[in-house]
Amino acid sequence: MTQIIEVKTKKQRKEFVEYPLRLYKDNPNFVPPLYGDEMKIFTEKNIYFKTCKSVFYLAQRDGKTVGRIQGIIQMQYNDVHGTKQARFTRFDCENDPNTAKLLFDAVETWAKAQQMQTLVGPLGYSDLEREGLLIEGFDYLSTFEEQYNHAYYADLIENCGYAKDVDWVEFRLFSTPQQDERLKKFGERALERHNLRIVSDGLNKRQIIKRYANGIFQCIDECYKDLYGTVPFTPEMIKQMVDQFMLIINKRYIMVVCDENDEVAAFGFCLPGIGKAVQKTGGKLTLGCLIRLLKAVKNPDSIDLGLVGIMPKYRKSGLSAYIMTVLQNMLSTKGVEYLETNLNLETNANIQTNWKHFDFIQHKRRRSYIKYLNTIE
Protein backbone atom coordinates (compact mmCIF):
# COMPACT_ATOMS: atom_id res chain seq x y z
CA MET A 1 0.00 0.00 0.00
CA THR A 2 1.29 3.44 -0.95
CA GLN A 3 1.43 6.03 1.83
CA ILE A 4 1.78 9.80 1.56
CA ILE A 5 4.07 11.25 4.21
CA GLU A 6 4.55 14.92 4.93
CA VAL A 7 8.25 15.73 5.14
CA LYS A 8 9.18 16.79 8.66
CA THR A 9 12.41 15.13 9.78
CA LYS A 10 16.00 15.56 8.65
CA LYS A 11 15.98 12.02 7.26
CA GLN A 12 12.81 12.72 5.26
CA ARG A 13 14.28 15.96 3.88
CA LYS A 14 17.36 14.09 2.73
CA GLU A 15 15.14 11.47 1.09
CA PHE A 16 13.10 14.18 -0.65
CA VAL A 17 16.24 15.65 -2.24
CA GLU A 18 17.87 12.32 -3.11
CA TYR A 19 14.90 10.50 -4.64
CA PRO A 20 15.25 12.03 -8.15
CA LEU A 21 18.99 11.31 -8.08
CA ARG A 22 18.15 7.61 -7.88
CA LEU A 23 15.26 7.86 -10.33
CA TYR A 24 17.49 9.37 -13.03
CA LYS A 25 20.76 7.69 -12.07
CA ASP A 26 21.32 6.15 -15.51
CA ASN A 27 19.74 8.91 -17.58
CA PRO A 28 22.42 10.80 -19.57
CA ASN A 29 20.23 13.91 -20.03
CA PHE A 30 19.30 14.57 -16.39
CA VAL A 31 21.22 17.41 -14.72
CA PRO A 32 20.74 17.75 -10.95
CA PRO A 33 20.60 21.05 -9.07
CA LEU A 34 23.33 21.68 -6.54
CA TYR A 35 22.66 19.37 -3.61
CA GLY A 36 23.42 22.01 -0.97
CA ASP A 37 21.01 24.49 -2.54
CA GLU A 38 18.21 21.93 -2.48
CA MET A 39 18.79 21.14 1.19
CA LYS A 40 18.58 24.86 2.01
CA ILE A 41 14.93 25.05 0.90
CA PHE A 42 13.96 23.42 4.22
CA THR A 43 15.86 25.92 6.36
CA GLU A 44 15.65 29.58 7.31
CA LYS A 45 18.41 30.22 4.76
CA ASN A 46 15.67 29.96 2.15
CA ILE A 47 14.49 33.58 2.14
CA TYR A 48 11.30 32.62 0.30
CA PHE A 49 9.97 31.50 3.69
CA LYS A 50 9.16 35.19 4.17
CA THR A 51 6.88 35.38 1.15
CA CYS A 52 5.75 31.78 0.68
CA LYS A 53 4.12 28.84 2.40
CA SER A 54 5.40 25.38 1.50
CA VAL A 55 4.60 21.75 2.06
CA PHE A 56 6.57 18.66 1.01
CA TYR A 57 5.28 15.13 0.52
CA LEU A 58 6.84 11.74 -0.13
CA ALA A 59 5.03 8.72 -1.54
CA GLN A 60 6.36 5.50 -0.02
CA ARG A 61 5.55 1.83 -0.48
CA ASP A 62 7.04 -0.87 1.76
CA GLY A 63 9.51 1.70 3.08
CA LYS A 64 10.69 2.68 -0.41
CA THR A 65 10.15 6.14 -1.88
CA VAL A 66 8.22 6.05 -5.16
CA GLY A 67 7.35 9.75 -5.58
CA ARG A 68 7.61 13.27 -4.22
CA ILE A 69 5.99 16.69 -4.65
CA GLN A 70 6.18 20.19 -3.17
CA GLY A 71 3.32 22.64 -2.80
CA ILE A 72 3.87 26.41 -2.65
CA ILE A 73 1.66 29.39 -1.95
CA GLN A 74 3.53 32.43 -3.29
CA MET A 75 1.82 35.09 -1.16
CA GLN A 76 3.73 37.91 -2.83
CA TYR A 77 2.47 36.81 -6.25
CA ASN A 78 -1.09 36.45 -5.00
CA ASP A 79 -1.05 39.90 -3.42
CA VAL A 80 0.31 41.58 -6.56
CA HIS A 81 -2.13 39.83 -8.90
CA GLY A 82 -5.15 39.59 -6.62
CA THR A 83 -5.43 35.84 -7.03
CA LYS A 84 -5.65 32.71 -4.89
CA GLN A 85 -3.13 30.49 -6.58
CA ALA A 86 -1.07 27.59 -5.27
CA ARG A 87 1.84 26.03 -7.14
CA PHE A 88 3.30 22.56 -7.37
CA THR A 89 6.94 21.83 -8.08
CA ARG A 90 9.62 19.19 -7.54
CA PHE A 91 7.22 16.52 -8.76
CA ASP A 92 8.96 13.23 -9.45
CA CYS A 93 7.23 9.88 -9.59
CA GLU A 94 7.31 6.29 -10.72
CA ASN A 95 5.18 5.50 -13.75
CA ASP A 96 2.05 4.74 -11.74
CA PRO A 97 -1.17 6.82 -12.01
CA ASN A 98 -2.29 5.90 -8.50
CA THR A 99 0.94 7.16 -6.91
CA ALA A 100 0.72 10.43 -8.84
CA LYS A 101 -2.93 10.89 -7.85
CA LEU A 102 -2.14 10.39 -4.18
CA LEU A 103 0.61 13.01 -4.35
CA PHE A 104 -1.57 15.56 -6.14
CA ASP A 105 -4.52 14.84 -3.85
CA ALA A 106 -2.31 15.69 -0.88
CA VAL A 107 -1.18 19.04 -2.35
CA GLU A 108 -4.72 19.90 -3.50
CA THR A 109 -6.15 19.19 -0.05
CA TRP A 110 -3.47 21.40 1.50
CA ALA A 111 -4.15 24.20 -0.98
CA LYS A 112 -7.93 24.03 -0.64
CA ALA A 113 -7.70 24.16 3.13
CA GLN A 114 -6.07 27.58 2.69
CA GLN A 115 -8.77 28.75 0.29
CA MET A 116 -6.67 28.56 -2.86
CA GLN A 117 -8.70 28.42 -6.06
CA THR A 118 -6.15 27.13 -8.58
CA LEU A 119 -3.10 24.89 -8.57
CA VAL A 120 -0.51 25.51 -11.29
CA GLY A 121 2.88 24.15 -12.16
CA PRO A 122 5.52 23.01 -12.24
CA LEU A 123 6.45 26.45 -10.86
CA GLY A 124 8.90 27.26 -8.10
CA TYR A 125 9.14 30.15 -5.68
CA SER A 126 9.98 32.54 -8.53
CA ASP A 127 10.57 32.32 -12.26
CA LEU A 128 14.32 32.07 -11.63
CA GLU A 129 13.74 28.58 -10.26
CA ARG A 130 13.29 25.56 -12.47
CA GLU A 131 9.86 25.60 -14.07
CA GLY A 132 7.77 23.83 -16.66
CA LEU A 133 7.30 20.15 -17.49
CA LEU A 134 9.38 18.89 -20.38
CA ILE A 135 7.01 17.56 -23.05
CA GLU A 136 9.34 17.63 -26.09
CA GLY A 137 13.10 17.20 -26.34
CA PHE A 138 13.81 14.26 -24.05
CA ASP A 139 16.90 13.29 -26.05
CA TYR A 140 18.73 16.54 -25.31
CA LEU A 141 20.92 17.28 -22.31
CA SER A 142 19.21 19.56 -19.80
CA THR A 143 20.86 22.80 -18.90
CA PHE A 144 21.76 23.42 -15.27
CA GLU A 145 18.84 25.86 -15.01
CA GLU A 146 16.25 23.34 -16.22
CA GLN A 147 14.48 20.37 -14.72
CA TYR A 148 14.48 17.11 -16.65
CA ASN A 149 11.61 14.63 -16.41
CA HIS A 150 10.46 11.36 -17.95
CA ALA A 151 8.07 11.48 -20.90
CA TYR A 152 5.33 9.73 -18.92
CA TYR A 153 4.97 12.62 -16.44
CA ALA A 154 2.58 14.49 -18.75
CA ASP A 155 0.10 11.59 -18.72
CA LEU A 156 0.34 11.29 -14.94
CA ILE A 157 -0.43 14.99 -14.47
CA GLU A 158 -3.20 15.16 -17.06
CA ASN A 159 -4.87 12.06 -15.60
CA CYS A 160 -5.15 14.03 -12.34
CA GLY A 161 -7.33 16.63 -14.05
CA TYR A 162 -4.72 19.19 -15.12
CA ALA A 163 -4.78 21.06 -18.43
CA LYS A 164 -2.32 23.26 -20.31
CA ASP A 165 -1.95 26.77 -18.94
CA VAL A 166 1.09 27.99 -20.92
CA ASP A 167 3.94 26.52 -22.96
CA TRP A 168 7.55 27.58 -23.29
CA VAL A 169 9.74 26.73 -26.27
CA GLU A 170 13.52 26.47 -26.29
CA PHE A 171 16.09 26.99 -28.99
CA ARG A 172 19.66 25.96 -29.62
CA LEU A 173 21.64 28.68 -31.40
CA PHE A 174 24.73 28.09 -33.51
CA SER A 175 27.36 30.47 -34.81
CA THR A 176 26.68 31.82 -38.28
CA PRO A 177 29.44 31.56 -40.91
CA GLN A 178 29.75 35.33 -41.01
CA GLN A 179 28.44 37.98 -38.61
CA ASP A 180 26.00 40.55 -39.92
CA GLU A 181 28.03 43.78 -39.98
CA ARG A 182 24.86 45.84 -40.47
CA LEU A 183 23.48 44.48 -37.22
CA LYS A 184 26.70 45.35 -35.42
CA LYS A 185 26.77 48.90 -36.77
CA PHE A 186 23.09 49.42 -35.95
CA GLY A 187 23.72 48.36 -32.35
CA GLU A 188 26.79 50.57 -31.99
CA ARG A 189 24.89 53.59 -33.33
CA ALA A 190 22.17 52.93 -30.74
CA LEU A 191 24.75 53.26 -27.97
CA GLU A 192 26.11 56.50 -29.39
CA ARG A 193 22.71 58.03 -30.12
CA HIS A 194 21.46 57.53 -26.56
CA ASN A 195 24.77 58.27 -24.81
CA LEU A 196 25.03 54.74 -23.42
CA ARG A 197 28.15 52.81 -22.49
CA ILE A 198 29.17 49.24 -21.71
CA VAL A 199 30.32 49.38 -18.09
CA SER A 200 31.18 45.71 -17.73
CA ASP A 201 34.27 46.03 -19.93
CA GLY A 202 36.58 47.48 -17.27
CA LEU A 203 35.42 45.57 -14.18
CA ASN A 204 35.75 42.03 -12.84
CA LYS A 205 32.63 40.01 -12.10
CA ARG A 206 32.49 40.82 -8.39
CA GLN A 207 32.82 44.53 -9.08
CA ILE A 208 30.06 44.34 -11.68
CA ILE A 209 27.71 42.50 -9.32
CA LYS A 210 28.48 44.74 -6.34
CA ARG A 211 27.97 47.96 -8.26
CA TYR A 212 25.08 47.04 -10.55
CA ALA A 213 23.15 44.11 -9.02
CA ASN A 214 20.34 46.32 -7.71
CA GLY A 215 20.00 48.09 -11.06
CA ILE A 216 20.00 44.78 -12.93
CA PHE A 217 17.24 43.36 -10.75
CA GLN A 218 15.23 46.58 -11.08
CA CYS A 219 15.51 46.08 -14.82
CA ILE A 220 14.40 42.46 -14.42
CA ASP A 221 11.37 43.53 -12.38
CA GLU A 222 10.39 46.10 -15.00
CA CYS A 223 10.98 43.90 -18.04
CA TYR A 224 9.54 40.65 -16.68
CA LYS A 225 6.68 41.88 -14.48
CA ASP A 226 3.98 40.90 -16.96
CA LEU A 227 5.40 37.48 -17.77
CA TYR A 228 3.98 34.25 -16.44
CA GLY A 229 4.60 33.46 -12.77
CA THR A 230 7.00 36.32 -12.02
CA VAL A 231 7.31 38.11 -8.69
CA PRO A 232 9.21 41.31 -7.74
CA PHE A 233 12.62 40.77 -6.17
CA THR A 234 13.23 41.75 -2.58
CA PRO A 235 16.76 42.62 -1.36
CA GLU A 236 16.96 39.21 0.33
CA MET A 237 15.99 37.45 -2.89
CA ILE A 238 18.64 39.38 -4.82
CA LYS A 239 21.34 38.39 -2.35
CA GLN A 240 20.31 34.73 -2.42
CA MET A 241 20.34 34.60 -6.23
CA VAL A 242 23.73 36.32 -6.41
CA ASP A 243 25.21 33.95 -3.82
CA GLN A 244 23.87 30.90 -5.67
CA PHE A 245 25.26 31.86 -9.07
CA MET A 246 28.49 33.68 -8.19
CA LEU A 247 30.59 30.52 -8.49
CA ILE A 248 29.48 29.80 -12.04
CA ILE A 249 29.47 33.34 -13.44
CA ASN A 250 32.12 34.06 -16.07
CA LYS A 251 32.79 37.74 -16.64
CA ARG A 252 33.12 37.16 -20.40
CA TYR A 253 29.39 36.44 -20.53
CA ILE A 254 28.14 39.53 -18.66
CA MET A 255 27.07 42.76 -20.35
CA VAL A 256 25.75 45.84 -18.52
CA VAL A 257 24.72 48.99 -20.38
CA CYS A 258 24.36 52.25 -18.41
CA ASP A 259 23.27 55.77 -19.20
CA GLU A 260 25.18 58.97 -18.41
CA ASN A 261 23.97 58.77 -14.78
CA ASP A 262 25.37 55.24 -14.37
CA GLU A 263 21.83 53.81 -14.23
CA VAL A 264 21.27 50.39 -15.81
CA ALA A 265 19.59 50.79 -19.19
CA ALA A 266 20.01 47.20 -20.33
CA PHE A 267 21.82 44.04 -19.37
CA GLY A 268 22.44 40.52 -20.52
CA PHE A 269 24.18 37.62 -18.97
CA CYS A 270 24.79 34.05 -19.91
CA LEU A 271 26.11 31.15 -17.90
CA PRO A 272 28.71 28.60 -18.96
CA GLY A 273 27.11 25.23 -19.58
CA ILE A 274 27.97 23.22 -16.46
CA GLY A 275 25.47 20.37 -16.78
CA LYS A 276 28.04 17.67 -17.47
CA ALA A 277 30.26 18.91 -14.63
CA VAL A 278 27.67 18.28 -11.90
CA GLN A 279 26.08 15.08 -13.24
CA LYS A 280 28.52 12.55 -11.81
CA THR A 281 28.17 13.54 -8.14
CA GLY A 282 24.44 14.26 -8.12
CA GLY A 283 25.07 17.96 -7.65
CA LYS A 284 27.31 17.52 -4.60
CA LEU A 285 30.32 19.83 -4.66
CA THR A 286 33.03 17.25 -4.12
CA LEU A 287 36.62 18.16 -4.97
CA GLY A 288 36.34 16.34 -8.30
CA CYS A 289 33.07 18.09 -9.11
CA LEU A 290 34.52 21.47 -8.18
CA ILE A 291 37.50 20.93 -10.48
CA ARG A 292 35.21 19.95 -13.38
CA LEU A 293 32.94 22.88 -12.60
CA LEU A 294 35.73 25.46 -12.64
CA LYS A 295 37.08 24.06 -15.90
CA ALA A 296 33.61 24.30 -17.47
CA VAL A 297 33.18 27.87 -16.23
CA LYS A 298 36.54 28.91 -17.67
CA ASN A 299 36.28 27.05 -20.99
CA PRO A 300 32.69 25.95 -21.65
CA ASP A 301 31.63 23.91 -24.67
CA SER A 302 28.15 25.45 -24.49
CA ILE A 303 26.53 28.59 -23.09
CA ASP A 304 23.16 29.00 -21.40
CA LEU A 305 21.25 32.23 -21.94
CA GLY A 306 20.38 33.57 -18.51
CA LEU A 307 18.47 36.84 -18.62
CA VAL A 308 18.28 39.79 -20.98
CA GLY A 309 16.52 43.04 -20.20
CA ILE A 310 16.13 46.47 -21.81
CA MET A 311 14.40 49.23 -19.89
CA PRO A 312 11.16 50.35 -21.64
CA LYS A 313 12.47 53.75 -22.74
CA TYR A 314 15.21 52.04 -24.79
CA ARG A 315 13.26 49.13 -26.28
CA LYS A 316 12.99 50.76 -29.72
CA SER A 317 16.48 52.20 -29.59
CA GLY A 318 18.30 49.39 -31.38
CA LEU A 319 19.90 48.00 -28.22
CA SER A 320 18.51 44.54 -29.00
CA ALA A 321 20.71 44.54 -32.12
CA TYR A 322 23.76 45.20 -29.97
CA ILE A 323 22.83 42.37 -27.61
CA MET A 324 22.52 39.98 -30.58
CA THR A 325 26.04 40.88 -31.70
CA VAL A 326 27.29 40.20 -28.18
CA LEU A 327 25.69 36.74 -28.32
CA GLN A 328 27.24 36.16 -31.74
CA ASN A 329 30.65 37.02 -30.29
CA MET A 330 30.11 34.55 -27.45
CA LEU A 331 29.34 31.81 -29.96
CA SER A 332 32.54 32.56 -31.83
CA THR A 333 34.61 31.82 -28.69
CA LYS A 334 36.96 28.89 -29.18
CA GLY A 335 35.41 25.61 -28.02
CA VAL A 336 31.82 26.89 -27.74
CA GLU A 337 29.54 24.69 -29.83
CA TYR A 338 26.12 26.24 -29.20
CA LEU A 339 24.01 28.50 -26.98
CA GLU A 340 20.84 27.30 -25.22
CA THR A 341 18.12 29.94 -24.95
CA ASN A 342 16.34 28.14 -22.10
CA LEU A 343 12.64 29.01 -21.76
CA ASN A 344 10.82 31.44 -24.08
CA LEU A 345 7.06 31.78 -23.68
CA GLU A 346 5.54 30.47 -26.90
CA THR A 347 3.58 33.74 -27.22
CA ASN A 348 6.68 35.94 -26.79
CA ALA A 349 7.29 36.74 -30.45
CA ASN A 350 9.57 39.67 -29.58
CA ILE A 351 12.27 37.50 -28.08
CA GLN A 352 11.91 34.65 -30.59
CA THR A 353 12.30 37.02 -33.55
CA ASN A 354 15.88 37.67 -32.44
CA TRP A 355 16.95 34.10 -33.15
CA LYS A 356 16.70 34.73 -36.91
CA HIS A 357 20.19 36.20 -36.63
CA PHE A 358 21.58 32.72 -35.89
CA ASP A 359 21.46 29.24 -37.28
CA PHE A 360 19.04 27.59 -34.85
CA ILE A 361 16.74 24.71 -34.03
CA GLN A 362 13.68 24.67 -31.78
CA HIS A 363 14.32 21.48 -29.84
CA LYS A 364 12.41 21.55 -26.54
CA ARG A 365 8.98 22.47 -25.22
CA ARG A 366 7.80 22.83 -21.63
CA ARG A 367 4.36 23.22 -20.13
CA SER A 368 2.76 24.67 -17.03
CA TYR A 369 -0.52 23.05 -16.06
CA ILE A 370 -3.54 24.38 -14.19
CA LYS A 371 -6.39 22.85 -12.23
CA TYR A 372 -9.31 24.73 -10.72
CA LEU A 373 -10.05 23.71 -7.14
CA ASN A 374 -13.29 23.54 -5.20
CA THR A 375 -12.18 25.17 -1.97
CA ILE A 376 -13.20 23.90 1.45
CA GLU A 377 -15.78 26.16 3.08
| pLDDT of res. 109 | 97
Name the nearest CA neighbour of 280 among 9, 25, 86, 20.
25
For residues 357 and 183, the answer to whether their CB atoms sit within 8 Å is: yes
Residues β-bridged to residue 82: none
Q: What's the maximum distance between 2 C-alpha atoms anywhere in the chain?
A: 69
E-strand stretches of the chain: 2-6, 52-61, 64-74, 85-93, 118-121, 133-136, 163-174, 197-198, 254-258, 264-272, 302-310, 338-340, 344-345, 359-372
Residues β-bridged to residue 118: 85, 372
Residues β-bridged to residue 367: 133, 167
Q: What is the DSSP string of 229-246?
A: T--PPPHHHHHHHHHHHG
Q: How confident is the model at residue 377 (pLDDT cuts 50, 70, 90)?
A: very low
Rounded to whole angstroms, how far apart are CA atoms 343 and 66? Answer: 29
| pLDDT of res. 127 | 81
Rounded to whole angstroms, how far apart are CA atoms 18 and 32? Answer: 10
For residues 196 and 240, the answer to whether their CB atoms sit within 8 Å is: no
Name the nearest CA neighbour of 180 among 356, 357, 359.
357
Per-residue pLDDT of 189-247, as tens digits, reads 888 998 999 887 778 888 888 888 888 888 888 888 778 888 887 777 777 777 777 77
Per-residue pLDDT of 275-311, as tens digits, reads 999 998 999 989 999 999 999 999 999 999 988 889 9
For residues 339, 326, 297 and 254, what is the CA-based torsion angle, rounded to 10 degrees? Answer: -130
CA dist 118 → 155, 162, 165 (Å): 20, 10, 11
Cis link prior to 122 (omega < 30° from 0)?
yes
Rounded to whole angstroms, how far apart are CA atoms 63 and 2? Answer: 9
Q: Are strands 85-93 and 254-258 parallel, antiparallel or unpaired?
A: unpaired
Q: What percent of the chain has pLDDT over 70?
A: 98
Per-residue pLDDT of 140-158, as tens digits, reads 999 999 999 999 999 999 9
CA 33 to chain centre: 11
Q: How confident is the model at residue 367 (pLDDT cuts 50, 70, 90)?
A: very high
Contacts of 45 (CB under 8 A, 6+ apart): none
